[in-house]
Amino acid sequence: MKEKFYGFCLTFLCFQTCLSSALGDKILAEIGNTVSLPCNKPSEGDVEWLKGGKTVIKYRGSRKTFGSAAKDAKSYSILSDKTNDLTVMDVNLKDSGTYTCKIQNTEIRTVELFVFEVSVFPSDNLLPSEDLVLDLTPSSIPGLQVSWEKNGIVMSNSPKLEENNVQLNGDYVCRLTMDGGNKLNITTRIRVSGFQDFPSIVYASNKSPVTILWIFTFEIRKGPMSSDTHVEEGSISYSSQILNQLSVTEGAASWPEKKEAKEASEKPNDLSVQLLNPKHGRYQLEILLKIGDRRKKLTREVCVAGLTVSDSESDVPVDTNVPLHCNINCIESNQKLCWHQTNTNRETCGQEGKGSLIEEVTVGDEAENTWICSVNDGKKRIISANVTLTLQTDFLDLSNSLFWVTVGVGIFILILIVVIITLIIARNRRMRRARHRAWLLENLHQKRRCECKGFAPQRLRDNV
């Protein structure tokens, strides 16, 4: 009984091995790659690989010969006599077919090779918004399953992929599977010769210089030796008036004032523009690109945003309503204007994306000082401007420093006047006394000479 069971198992295993050899292996390969077709059996005699019944390569001892099915001698080799696997280099579509490994004229293994190619239209280098077509060849193979993915997202389950209005670089992966075969991924890298996406608003403060970013996805400042994209012309304009034009040399572009070779080598993708005296408003950047016979004019609009607020006011009466105006000529949809009062940390914000905000302020002690209007992106303050309100002061208010200064000056002047008057009175009194004494002395002198009767000089002197 056991002998019958072991015989059955041996028969079943032989049947499975023969069935596997009959069905063969399926190898999926991408054009241009190197593949290994397995024989996976050592040999002590002749080894021969055939394609469609015709000899590709044959080893008889140490002698190697190539048959009519070989495309060229350099494309085939058997690297190890322990496995006798066939290596095929730089495969193309014509290499597809059925390969058979023979040892000592005995068929050991059959392998089916399928070589695939992805064609790209119009090319793997696109201009922005061009349409892209990716097509797998061959496509009609029984049991073949195809899917296209981009950034991990399945875009198609057919051998042909069409995508319109391509804007950004991307890797398109064609995933191939087949029953009894290996999995194959063919990646096609698509480049889009345009400029990178940057914020369309630049905030300017107090007429300070601003930089409008204009950075490309290819080396625009180098000639077509490094890229097949040519520049034909370009400019920057404001209110339909051209401010500057690109200088183009052999397909490479630069601004006339930036022709330095060092800058072109350090920033080959950068054509940013610096505005020394920027005006608030919209600037338009234009460039004409060419790839082969295809041309595309690219435009980019950038707004230089300026924040304006109400003028500062002084001597504002208490309990007066003062409207504070804040305006900006362009703002992002997720940003908003906010008024902030420095004394109380009071803050009022407007709607997101709205370019004006009015704050009604009742002037009092807490409203005095500085109000700040700013453009906020979440909690981040991007740009701001200040308004200062100064209250009108009551002269008789004891808390008014001007009142006490005036009182002090008045007292000082009063004291000074009293001192001056006192000095003048004292001086006049001394002068009167001096004149009286002089008069007495003069009379005395005259009386001494007087011979009038009854005059007593001695008494006069005593009185003096």
* In a shared domain, residues 257 and 321: no
Single-letter amino acid, residue 430: R
Strand partners, 130: 166
pLDDT of residue 3: 44
Residue 221 lies in a domain: yes
Residue 264 lies in a domain: yes
* In a shared domain, residues 110 and 121: no
pLDDT of residue 303: 95
Residue 424 lies in a domain: no
Q: How far apart are alpha carbons 19 and 39 in whole angstroms?
A: 16
Q: How many CA atoms lie within 13 A of 137 on its CB side?
A: 11
Residue 398 lies in a domain: no
* In a shared domain, residues 185 and 218: no
* In a shared domain, residues 184 and 215: no
* In a shared domain, residues 246 and 289: yes
* In a shared domain, residues 129 and 164: yes
* In a shared domain, residues 290 and 356: no
SS3 assignment, position 426: helix
The residue ranges of the chain whose pLDDT is under 70 are 1-24, 224-227, 258-265, 314-316, 364-368, 391-403, 447-464
Residue 9 lies in a domain: no
Q: Which of 161, 192, 223 is the C-terminal boundary of a domain?
A: 192
Nearest to 214 by CA among 298, 91, 323: 298
* Start-end of H helices in 31-94: none
Q: What is the DSSP letter of 93?
A: G
* In a shared domain, residues 178 and 247: no
Lateral strand order in the sheet of 125-126: 125-126, 184-192, 170-178, 144-150, 153-156
CA distances to 145, 233, 245, 254, 262 from 259, rounded to whole Å, are: 53, 16, 13, 6, 9
Number of domains in the chain: 4
* In a shared domain, residues 277 and 314: no
CATH code assigned at 206: 2.60.40
Dihedral pair phi/psi, residue 13, rounded to 5°: -65, -40
* In a shared domain, residues 140 and 154: yes
Dihedral pair phi/psi, residue 277, rounded to 5°: -125, 75
Residue 410 lies in a domain: no
Give the global pTM.
Answer: 0.68
Q: How far apart are alpha carbons 119 and 162 in whole angstroms?
A: 12
For residue 46, the enclosing domain spans 23-116
Q: Which of 136, 158, 192 is the C-terminal boundary of a domain?
A: 192
Question: How do residues 293-349 score in pLDDT, each as one tens digit?
Answer: 999 999 999 999 999 998 877 666 777 778 889 999 999 999 999 998 877 788 889
C-alpha torsion angle, residues 262, 266, 270, 271 (rounded to 10): -10
Question: How do residues 356-399 score in pLDDT, each as one tens digit?
Answer: 999 888 776 555 578 899 999 988 888 999 888 776 655 455 55
* In a shared domain, residues 172 and 244: no
pLDDT of residue 187: 95
* In a shared domain, residues 362 and 351: yes
Q: Which of 349, 371, 391 is the C-terminal boundary of a domain?
A: 391
Residue 456 lies in a domain: no
Residue 8 lies in a domain: no
Q: How far apart are alpha carbons 338 and 46 in whole angstroms?
A: 88
CATH code assigned at 370: 2.60.40.10
Nearest to 83 by CA among 65, 104, 61, 101: 101
